[in-house]
Amino acid sequence: MEEVLEFKVDEEGDSLRLDLFLFDKLEGWSRSRCQTLIKSGKVKVNEKTVSKPAYNVKLNDVVQVTIEEAKQEEGLIPENIPIDIIYQDNDIVVVNKPAGLVVHPAPGHPNGTLVNALLYHCKDYSPVSGDPLRPGVVHRLDMNTTGVLVFAKNPHAYLELRRQVENREFKRRYLALVKGVPPHKEGIIEASIGRSLCDRKRMSVTGVNSREAVTHYVVKESFKYLSLLELKLFTGRTHQIRVHLKFIGYPVLGDPVYGFVDYHTLPLPETVIRTMEKLPGQALHAQLLGLKHPTNNAYMEFTAPLPDYFNEILSLLRKSTKS
């Protein structure tokens, strides 16, 4: 079975290589798989087949991609990993992802992922359009970020949910515990994000080979040295919230890459410090996800409660340091 996806190049995609353009558009696809797709003649630009990954797309170009239903690879096997399924039907499955669980197989994580768990717990969750190792992956959360994620169970659902992602129709709300107290109750961070020029494994705010990134934040609670922020994404760049909060000087607690982990430098009670040291990773939680159902178009919202360790820290802070 084949499906055709169509994208129109906007200002953000103008002059990008074709493989990079598709890599950005096709969630769940690796760059090498995008290159293979192009070389196999499955991509057209303005109705003409383009077989060179380095081809530069231009503003208002129409890119058509023909993708086939993916075949499950031998390495992708069902695994009995406990997961919290919030909702599922014939088209989608929504989960509350815990910290420490990788979304899909990747170098260094060939198994033991959320995708492996879904294959076990959802018998109708089969490989759909996209990379065979990332079936149904519509969007992602970093390994130690917790909260709501939706997966597609069939090609139609995958394409429709990806369309919503591309058109920025998903409603996404996060909570983060950060070092410091912003001077304003709310604000918007508009700073382009790209690969760090010093470390290609990290992202950074940069004007070089970067993409537009916009994050809105509201201070929900302020403590003497820390704040609980509510964040909304207007774009979905890799590590966006973590990078943006570092950029404005309010790094996320528990994040060893972009955030703050030197808890003992804070003049807080020892009980609070010891509890913070138990954080499994960044104190960042995807609290809410809103979307339109891919089949009946009904708007749906899903929420996930904060992890116990996150609530424990907040409880201690409220008792000892609320200002």
Taking the C-alpha atoms of residue 280 and residue 260, their distance in angstroms, rounded to an integer, is 13
Q: Which among 86, 78, 235 is positioned nearest to 149, based on CA atoms?
A: 86
Which residues are the active-site residues?
A: 142
**SS3 category, 240:** helix
Give me the pLDDT at residue 250, please. 98
What tokens appear for 154 in the block?
């069939």
| pLDDT tens-digit map of 3-12 | 788 888 887 7
Q: Which among 246, 244, 251, 176 is positioned nearest to 212, based on CA atoms?
A: 244
Query: Which domains can be identified in the chain, with CATH numbers?
Result: 2-68 (3.10.290.10), 84-163 (3.30.2350.10), 172-289+299-320 (3.30.2350.10)
Q: How far is CA 5 from CA 22, 63, 142, 168, in A?
A: 11, 8, 26, 16
- The crossing angle, in degrees rounded to 10, of helices 31-39 and 18-25 is 120
Other Cβ atoms within 10 Å of 121 Cβ, number = 18
Taking the C-alpha atoms of residue 159 and residue 137, their distance in angstroms, rounded to an integer, is 11
Q: Where are the alpha helices (DSSP H) in the chain?
A: 18-25, 31-39, 114-121, 155-166, 240-247, 270-276, 308-320
CA torsion, ordered 107, 112, 118, 124, to nearest 10 deg: 80
Parts of the chain with a pLDDT under 50: 70, 73-74, 323
Q: Which among 148, 258, 131, 252 is positioned nearest to 203, based on CA atoms?
A: 258
Handedness of CA 298, 215, 143, 316 (dihedral sign): negative
Sequence-ordered list of residues with C-beta below 8 angstroms from that of 97, at least 6 positions apart, any chain: 83, 103, 114, 141, 145, 146, 147, 148, 149, 286
Give me the pLDDT at residue 73, please. 47
Taking the C-alpha atoms of residue 139 and residue 152, their distance in angstroms, rounded to an integer, is 10
CB 34 within 8 A of CB 92: no
What tokens appear for 92 in the block?
């989608």
Q: Give the angle subtended at the CA of 81 by the CAs of 78 and 310, to the nearest 5°.
A: 145
**SS3 category, 78:** coil
pTM of this prediction exceeds 0.85: no
Q: For 5-65, give the DSSP string.
A: EEEE--TTTTT-BHHHHHHHHSTT--HHHHHHHHHTT-EEETTEE---TTPBP-TT-EEEE
Give me the pLDDT at residue 179, please. 97
